[in-house]
């Protein structure tokens, strides 16, 4: 008997919903039946366009702005979502600020602070805003988008990887703290993923990177979104505290 991912009636918040990976997550979750709150920081038109796509699929949608590094802004986003759609059953923390990577000696300290705000504090703020309602209902899914870089720790990755490692610590502790309320907390860790930008620019292939991956290819945005949908569903009801690489085996957590 085949099992389908059915998120009908589930309200999902995706932060960074207009990003390269975020937009595919939004579409995929809507295809699984979820209603969507689509967070954006600056790309209002992109969020509104995604709302139209979700509504064309027969789902409810709301574009909502916030600075995820600021608790007051996140609480305002929570209030806007509650008023328009209700309390989210699923939260996907996907937003992250983009920086150019440098060595530790050359990296601007402000970039460490910025990455900390959008990786660590985002998850703290989103948890404070949305998990209390999950606790009252005794159900919920909290999914953080991490990265294979957290395990790679290659030169020039320090600002990004250190922030994502901090995020990992927060979410593992959170999984232990809220598990008794039947709330799962998990992380998806993409590798270097093919997105629409690559398809438009013809940059899908990178032989040097592919040679390091056991599956000998880069993953796709859809493959990342599929795992997010799985963890959001009832099929993953007994998975919590996981850091799940989706990178073709390029990094492998050990025991």
Asked if the structure places residue 94 within a domain, the reply is yes
What is the reported pLDDT for 43? 97
Beta carbons of 34 and 7 less than 8 angstroms apart: yes
Cα–Cα distance, 248 to 17 (Å, whole number): 24
CATH number at residue 220: 3.40.50.720
Report H helices in the chain.
20-31, 44-56, 71-84, 109-116, 122-137, 149-152, 158-178, 196-201, 207-212, 221-232
Mapped onto helix, strand or coil, the DSSP state of residue 43 is coil
Asked if the structure places residue 3 within a domain, the reply is no
Asked if the structure places residue 117 within a domain, the reply is yes
Write down the catalytic residue from 40, 160, 209, 243. Answer: 160
Asked if the structure places residue 250 within a domain, the reply is no
Main-chain dihedrals φ then ψ at residue 129, nearest 5 degrees: -80, -40
- Bridge partners of 140, per DSSP, are 183
What is the reported pLDDT for 4? 83
Look at the chain and report how many structural domains it folds into: 1
Q: How do beta strands 90-93 and 61-65 pair? A: unpaired
| Residue 30 φ/ψ region, left for φ over 0, alpha for ψ in the -120 to 50 degree band, beta for the rest | alpha
Asked if the structure places residue 80 within a domain, the reply is yes
Cα–Cα distance, 66 to 77 (Å, whole number): 6
What is the reported pLDDT for 2? 58
What is the reported pLDDT for 255? 85
pTM for this prediction: 0.96
Find the domain containing 181 and state its range: 11-245
Main-chain dihedrals φ then ψ at residue 13, nearest 5 degrees: -105, 125
E strand or H helix that includes residue 184: strand 183-190
243 an active-site residue? no
Asked if the structure places residue 198 within a domain, the reply is yes
Q: Which residues of the chain have pLDDT under 50?
A: none
Beta carbons of 75 and 124 less than 8 angstroms apart: no
Asked if the structure places residue 232 within a domain, the reply is yes
Report DSSP letters for 168-180, one per residue.
HHHHHHHHHHHGG
Asked if the structure places residue 2 within a domain, the reply is no
Q: Which tokens belong to 181? A: 């309320």
Beta carbons of 45 and 68 less than 8 angstroms apart: no
Cα–Cα distance, 206 to 135 (Å, whole number): 44
């Amino acid at each position: 008997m085949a099992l389908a991912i059915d998120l009908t009636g589930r309200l999902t918040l995706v932060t960074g919903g207009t990003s390269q990976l975020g937009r595919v997550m939004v579409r995929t979750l809507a295809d699984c039946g979820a209603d969507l709150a689509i967070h954006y920081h600056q790309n209002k038109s992109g969020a509104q366009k995604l709302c139209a796509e979700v509504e064309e699929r027969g789902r409810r949608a709301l574009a909502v702005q916030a600075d995820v590094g600021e608790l007051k802004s996140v609480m305002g986003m929570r209030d806007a979502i509650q008023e328009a759609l209700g309390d989210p059953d699923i939260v996907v923390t996907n937003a992250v600020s983009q920086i150019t990577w440098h060595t530790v000696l050359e990296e601007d300290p402000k970039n460490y602070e910025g990455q900390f705000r959008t990786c660590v504090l985002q998850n703290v703020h989103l948890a404070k805003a949305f998990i209390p309602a999950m606790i009252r209902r005794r159900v919920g899914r909290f999914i953080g988008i991490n990265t294979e870089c957290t395990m790679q720790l290659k030169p020039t990755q320090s600002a990004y990887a250190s922030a994502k490692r901090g995020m990992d610590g927060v979410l593992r502790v959170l999984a232990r703290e809220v598990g008794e309320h039947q709330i799962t907390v998990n992380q998806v860790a993409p590798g270097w993923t093919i997105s629409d930008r690559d398809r438009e620019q013809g940059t899908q292939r990178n032989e040097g990177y592919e040679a390091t991956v056991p599956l000998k290819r880069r993953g796709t945005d859809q493959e990342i979104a599929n795992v997010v949908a799985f963890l959001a569903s009832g099929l993953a009801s007994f998975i919590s505290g996981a850091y799940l690489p989706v990178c073709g085996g390029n990094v492998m957590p050990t025991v």
